[in-house]
Amino acid sequence: MPSICFYFQVHQPKRLRKYTIFDINRIHFYEADDANCQIFHKVANKCYLPTNQLMLDLIKRFNGEFKISYSISGTAIEQMKRFNPEVLDSFKRLVDTGCVELISETYYHSLSFLHSTNEFERQIQKHKELIQKEFGYTSQTFRNTELIYSNSVATTADRLGYKAILAEGTEKILGWRNANFVYQPINCSNIKVLLRNYQLSDDIAFRFSNRGWAEHPLTADKFSTWVHGFDGNAETINLFMDYETFGEHQWSETGIFDFMWALPEYLLSHTSFKFNTPSQVVDIYTVRDKLDVPHYVSWADTERDLSAWKGNNLQDDALESVFKLEEKVYRTKDEGLIETWQALLTSDHFYYMCTKWFSDGDVHKYFNPYQSPYEAYINYQNVLTDFEAVVNARTAQLQEIK
Amino acid sequence: MRQKILMFGWEFPPHISGGLGVACYDLTKSLSELDVDITFVLPTLKSKPESNLHLKLLSSSDVKIHKKDQIFSYEEFLSGINVLKIDSPIRPYITEEGYLKFLEEYNSKLNTTYLDKSYNLHFSGDYGPNLIAEVFRYSYIAGIISQKTPHDIIHAHDWMTALAGIEARKHSGKPFIYHVHALETDRSGINVNKEIYDLEKFALESADRIIAVSHFTKNNIIQFYGIDPSKISVVHNAVSRTKVSKQADLIRKKPDEKIVLFLGRVTFQKGPDYFLEAAAKVLKKTKKVRFVIAGYGDMVNKLVERSAELRIGRNVHFTGFLKREEVEQIFSASDVYVMSSVSEPFGISCLEAVLFDVPVIISKQSGVAEVLSHSLKVDFWDTDELANMIYALLKFPALEKELLTQASEELKQIQWINSAQRVKEIYEDLTLVRV
């Protein structure tokens, strides 16, 4: 009896405002409020609101047979509360059905694991509290930003008590094995890992509207046939993707909503297949093998590595510069400063600085509010220059008081 | 079968080696490697051509005009042209002196020798005040050359030689390509010289095919000249030189001092005034930087005055016109190269800067911005943003490092042989149509 496991990522970064040398030491507010608000409303109207309604209708239609899971970043929830609370309410209605699992992540959708385990754990805790407060829900599954995963991410999540963790089902870590079984991270005895079936996931997320694709147009019927084809050689088909796939990356006009509306019925037409969420999947199936992942993998680009956020001079310099401030920032015990700093750790800032445009260019440009990675870096460093000055001033002030 | 090209150009190194001449040299060099035979017609040759040159150089000045061979005399030729009048005091293409002497000589020659059996027309080959008159003489000769030189295609570079291309086509009936490296609208903004503009428009309309050095230029041809886009092909320029070693004797600078360079004609088109305004803004934030304006033009005095007014004279340096070796040295000494052009059809100097390991900030109103993605790009008028970028390059070393790493890699793809290949395809396309 194979499971079909849907997980959708919901995330909106707090984009930075245009910040030049002339703003340094003059303006200490860094967020692009207007742009963030505008983008949020656009995505809410095109994706979050209609898709949530669709998912809710599906859940009702199948009387609990249709199940899905979400990971919603803290910055996304903040923006829902600030710009359009109806979006948050519609997510709450979904969670209230009992057919939705919420997944744990770092509050700021950050790259903190790569630089500071302390900060990583602080952000997970902060996210946990937020989910508890807004949804009355405690997550049992963890996913790291952009599915960044390695043995060490898994052991940390294991230590924090999660029973499932999500990762990319790339050949780099699977070798001859396939993604459609439950694995256990090496050196762990509790936590289990679920791997994204990237072919099937990307058929929906990336290729759905691609007219150059031989399988275009993709119908629910056809897609279900592919999924059913795994019967006998799979225990879980993990379909992980950005939630913005629905209505935002794939516009409504492409038929993505009709596709999603029709999909569960077709998938369930094969009686062996059931929908389950990650924490259910790891309970139902036994571990088939150990998974050893010494090097980081992610779900990004064709490389499935960290190179979208880390590795070029701009990114490494920006990351080093911001993490260098960690201790200094926390010593101020200033909640506002700490939050500003944490928001600067959001992965998107570093994604904008990615210079390997030529193979993965389209996706990067689509998500990028800057004209070039260089402008993204300049803006970020200008902000950081001012922020450091503010932190220094606060530190000096505190020392004076002492 | 090897294609034979009759090419017309105003510059060819060492006979005036401005940007146009360098581009012509590099393009023809690569074309010859692709088995294209080129006869290149210059107004005049100031020295004997190299013996192993990749093409045949012809000087218009050396062409004998046999009265009996010509349907029209030169005077009749001129009277047949009513688009433009000649010998009017036009604003020169670049500021250069000394031309009157030639005019006298030419007039006397026309009066005395025209009735004889044969005579020559002389050319300065410069951009003197009587450039347009010279352009007409050149095109008259082109008609004669076209009859004597077997060719499949006529290819003319910029407006100075476009009429020659048209004239050559009259005699041979071969397709005429007008290669646009710059337009009057680039050079003069809204204060265009009507004569040159009309001449360009006439040539653009007449051409069988237009090659533009960028999409930026293609759009200008469509927008300002109303030309049918379907006959315009874009072939970007490139850079022929390979990585160079830095040698900076010209300028001695302190270790913690940075140099920001402007290089080019100091004229409206190149936007040196925007560079200066941005310099003033950067200098408010740091004094450890020098701004060098290298080149000469009609705006120099105005800018010197402006820099005094801004009280930044001590950090702004005007070098005047630089020779090629000096250009290389100034590149070597520089930390940032800024091309702040108001309208730049291409801008090869940006590619050269990268060869000298200098990161570049490019005006968005340029063609080179289309090929050099690893650069900082700014609207020429946005001096705040330009200052922001200059300052960032001075302050954050990682920015320069990444820009240079990526741009050097990118430069490997921007080769003349690729441009030549595109041009060759256009040749083939045009000859096919005619068959």
Average pLDDT over residues B412-418: 92
Q: How far is B366 from chain A (nearest CA, A)?
A: 16
Q: Which B-chain residues 66-125 have CB contacts (< 8 A) with chain A?
A: none
B243 pLDDT band, cuts 50/70/90, is low
CA distance B374 to A269: 52
Which pLDDT belongs to residue B99? 37
What does R_g of chain B's alpha carbons equal in angstroms?
Answer: 23
Q: Any chain A CB within 8 A of the CB of B376?
A: yes
B391 pLDDT band, cuts 50/70/90, is very high
Q: Any chain A CB within 8 A of the CB of B281?
A: yes
The residue of chain B nearest to residue A355, with distances taken between CA atoms, is: B406
Q: How far is B381 from chain A (nearest CA, A)?
A: 16
List CB contacts of A142: < 8 A, sequence separation 6 or more.
A103, A104, A105, A124, A157, A160, A162, A164, A165, A166
Mind telling me the catalytic residues of A? 146
From the list B281, B399, B405, which residue is nearest A377 (CB)?
B399
B63 pLDDT band, cuts 50/70/90, is confident
Chain A environment of B397 (Cβ under 8 Å): 317
Which pLDDT belongs to residue B83? 35
pLDDT digits (tens, 9 = 90+) for B65-120: 766 555 556 666 555 443 333 333 333 333 333 333 443 444 444 444 333 445 56
pLDDT digits (tens, 9 = 90+) for B131-149: 777 888 888 889 889 988 9
Q: Any chain A CB within 8 A of the CB of B285?
A: yes
Q: Kindly report the average pLDDT of chain B as a whole number.
A: 84
Which pLDDT belongs to residue B88? 31
Which pLDDT belongs to residue B176? 97
Which pLDDT belongs to residue A351? 93
As a whole-number percent, the residues of chain B with pLDDT over 70 amount to 81
Which pLDDT belongs to residue B191? 81
Q: Which B-chain residues 356-375 have CB contacts (< 8 A) with chain A?
A: 373-375
Q: What are phi and psi of B155, to 5 degrees?
A: -135, 115
**Residue A4 CB-half CA count within 13 A:** 27
Residue whose C-alpha is closest to residue A279's, from A123, A117, A124, A98: A98
Which pLDDT belongs to residue B56? 87
From the list A21, A355, A381, which residue is nearest B374 (CB)?
A355
More confident of the two residues A302 and B204: B204
Q: How far is B162 from chain A (nearest CA, A)?
A: 38
What is the ipTM score, two decimals? 0.82
Average pLDDT over residues B162-189: 93
Task: List the beta bridge partners of residue A168.
Answer: A196
Average pLDDT over residues B254-276: 92
Residue A371 to residue B377, Cβ atoms within 8 A: yes
Indicate the range of A256-270, A278-292, B403-417, B421-435 predicted with least confidence. Answer: B421-435
pLDDT digits (tens, 9 = 90+) for B5-19: 999 998 888 766 567
From the list A22, A357, A374, which residue is nearest B403 (CB)?
A374
Peptide bond into B14 cis (omega under 30): yes
Q: Kindly report the average pLDDT of chain A as a whole number.
A: 94
Q: How far is A22 from chain B (nearest CA, A)?
A: 8
The residue of chain A nearest to residue B394, with distances taken between CA atoms, is: A378
- pLDDT surpassing 90 at residue B34: yes
Which tokens sit at A284? 């139902």
- pLDDT surpassing 60 at residue A125: yes
Average pLDDT over residues A77-92: 98
CA distance B432 to B1: 13
Best mutation site among A320, A360, A378 for testing chain B: the one with the most B CBs within 10 Å? A378
Average pLDDT over residues A113-132: 97
pLDDT digits (tens, 9 = 90+) for A221-280: 999 999 999 998 899 999 999 999 999 999 999 999 999 999 999 999 999 999 999 999
Residue A378 to residue B392, Cβ atoms within 8 A: yes
Chain B environment of A382 (Cβ under 8 Å): 388, 392
B169 exposure class (CB count in 10 Å sphere: 0-12, 13-18, 19+): buried
Q: Any chain A CB within 8 A of the CB of B25?
A: no
In SS3 terms, A307-332 reads as: CCCCCCHHHHHHHHHHHCCHHHHHHC
Average pLDDT over residues A161-177: 94
- pLDDT surpassing 90 at residue B241: no
Q: Which DSSP state fits B95?
A: -
Chain A environment of B387 (Cβ under 8 Å): 20-22
Residue A317 to residue B396, Cβ atoms within 8 A: yes
Average pLDDT over residues B319-336: 89
Q: How far is B393 from chain A (nearest CA, A)?
A: 9
